[in-house]
Amino acid sequence: MTRFFNGNQIQLLRNGADYFPALEAAIQNAEHDIYLQTYIFEADNIGISIANALKNAAHRGIIVNVLLDGFGCKDLPKAFVKELEAAGVQVMFYRPKISPWTLKKSRLRRLHRKITVIDSKVGFVGGINIIDDYNVPDNMPPRIDYAVRLEGSLLPMMAASVHKLWRRMAWTHLQPIILDAYKASITSTHSSDTSSSNTKNNIKAALVMRDNMLHRRDIENAYLAAIAQARTEIIIANAYFVPGRRFRQALLKASKRGVNVKLLLQGRMEYFLMFATHAFYNIFLKSGIEIYEYRKGFMHSKVAVIDGYWATVGSSNIDPFSLLLAREANIVVQDKVFANELRTDIMLSIQDGTYHVSAQDWAKGHAMKRFASWLAYGLVRVFVGIIGYSKEQ
């Protein structure tokens, strides 16, 4: 069951234009320690800018711990990493062995969450990697993505999570753990917890994590509980949307009882397996679920708004890889102002750059897409089945 806490200040950040200045400012104001954990860290102009901020923090004596995914950062230049380390930034890679010749489950258990905690007082959670929004082909508009900046009662939980994973990785990498960082974080955690009662924005929110141990279904269950309680509207904007049976049935039941269900999905296929999303178009459209494909550029969003009150922003896609394998982090908010701000932004994207897929058009045409979708979905089932999770699809 999702645990909500009052006493949070939460700011919605749209795209890198909002996110990176806020992140860099927080890094510059760090006093004790910085924990940054991300799937992709690109050595482009944004990556260099954030790296410089981290290096400057390390020069000031701040403890800076950066955990990168071994697959997402496989192309990150070694010289770039060495420069960070030379400046005093501690860098580790999560599951760096990514051989394509193995079918071991661990190869797909990635660090997909994007979470930063600074002094246990300020946190960032979302779907935005450390990469320039304009790092896209053909001069397209910047990719759409979201994150949140947090202060308040959720910070102790966030801090405990990043500290625990860092200590675990340090142990597996046989690296020393600097105890001062942990002591400083404990001190600032108490400070954050004490001041949270005086927060101006008393937002009710939960931090929902997914791992392969005690929290395997937490993110999916948070979605399912909210969908089951929906009465008027469900809006989901998700880049990689291949829901399992339980998720599909929840959406179909919601639509059947009169809930207006809107799906904003990626219209530009980056990978062949993304065609698996189309496998469910027919049944969704016949059941009255609205489907919009964003085609103006790339959409990397992993957000949702339900009944203008419940909202989530995070790193988790709605596909087997995020919901069954990867480490993910989402913030779930129960607040009308925040939810409506996010809803307004999603609706602007729907109005500005999408193609509305109708049941008639899908039934009459798109024969090749339908064939490709079932081929891709079959491959996803086989792939996920090989690693032991086929019963849920």
User: What average pLDDT does this structure show over 186-203?
Assistant: 48
User: What average pLDDT does this structure show over 173-187?
Assistant: 54
Partner residues linked to 170 by β-bridges: none
Lowest-confidence region among 166-180, 189-203, 254-268, 363-377: 189-203
pLDDT attached to residue 188: 43
Please, what is the average pLDDT of the chain? 87
pLDDT attached to residue 194: 37
pLDDT attached to residue 99: 60
Q: Is the pLDDT of residue 262 over 50?
A: yes
d(CA 373, CA 367): 10
Positions of E strands within the chain: 5-14, 33-38, 63-69, 90-94, 114-118, 122-126, 146-152, 203-210, 233-238, 260-266, 290-294, 302-306, 310-314, 328-334, 354-357
pLDDT digits (tens, 9 = 90+) for 291-333: 999 999 899 999 999 999 999 999 999 987 888 789 999 999 9
Q: What is the chain's alpha carbon radius of gyration, rounded to the nearest angstrom?
A: 21
Confidence of residue 172 (pLDDT cuts 50, 70, 90): confident
pLDDT attached to residue 199: 37
Question: Is 119 an annotated catalytic residue?
Answer: yes
Catalytic-labelled residue, pool 112, 121, 163, 278: 112
Question: Is 173 an annotated catalytic residue?
Answer: no
Catalytic-labelled residue, pool 32, 33, 55, 119: 119
Q: Is the pLDDT of residue 195 over 60?
A: no
pLDDT digits (tens, 9 = 90+) for 119-141: 999 999 999 999 999 988 878 88
Q: Give how far Cα 12 sits from Cα of 17, 152, 337, 340, 369, Å.
A: 12, 15, 11, 11, 35
pLDDT above 70 as % of the chain: 81
Question: Is 138 an annotated catalytic residue?
Answer: no
**For residue 197, what are the contacts with CB-CB under 8 A and spacing of at least 6?**
7
d(CA 36, CA 162): 8
Catalytic-labelled residue, pool 55, 121, 302, 335: 302
Structure tokens, 386? 């090989």
Catalytic-labelled residue, pool 300, 319, 335, 345: 300
Residue 104's φ and ψ, nearest 5 degrees, are -65, 140
Which of helix, strand or coil describes residue 102? coil
Confidence of residue 83 (pLDDT cuts 50, 70, 90): very high
pLDDT attached to residue 322: 85
Q: Is the pLDDT of residue 40 over 50?
A: yes
Confidence of residue 183 (pLDDT cuts 50, 70, 90): very low
Structure tokens, 24? 């860099």
- Ramachandran bin of 152, using left for φ above 0, alpha for ψ from -120 to 50, beta for the remaining angles: left
Catalytic-labelled residue, pool 193, 307, 366, 369: 307
pLDDT attached to residue 105: 58
pTM of the predicted protein model: 0.89
Catalytic-labelled residue, pool 114, 121, 163, 262: 114
Lowest-confidence region among 38-52, 94-108, 323-337: 94-108
Q: Is the pLDDT of residue 256 over 80?
A: yes
Question: Is 302 an annotated catalytic residue?
Answer: yes
pLDDT attached to residue 323: 82
pLDDT attached to residue 382: 56
Q: Are 25 and 149 in contact, with CB atoms under 8 Å apart?
A: no
**For residue 250, what are the contacts with CB-CB under 8 A and spacing of at least 6?**
223, 224, 227, 228
User: What average pLDDT does this structure show over 217-222?
Assistant: 96
Sign of CA dihedral 106, 112, 113, 117: positive
pLDDT attached to residue 344: 98
pLDDT digits (tens, 9 = 90+) for 6-19: 999 999 999 999 99
Closest CA to 3 of 152, 203, 192, 204: 204
Q: What are the structural domains of the chain?
A: 5-201 (3.30.870.10), 209-392 (3.30.870.10)
pLDDT attached to residue 185: 45
Confidence of residue 109 (pLDDT cuts 50, 70, 90): confident
Lowest-confidence region among 74-83, 173-182, 323-332: 173-182
Partner residues linked to 144 by β-bridges: 299
Question: Is 300 an annotated catalytic residue?
Answer: yes
Query: Can you list the pairs that 99-106 forms with residues at least 24 positions away whose Cβ atoms lie under 8 Å?
Result: 103/386, 103/387, 104/387, 105/325, 105/387, 105/388
pLDDT attached to residue 353: 84
Question: Is 307 an annotated catalytic residue?
Answer: yes
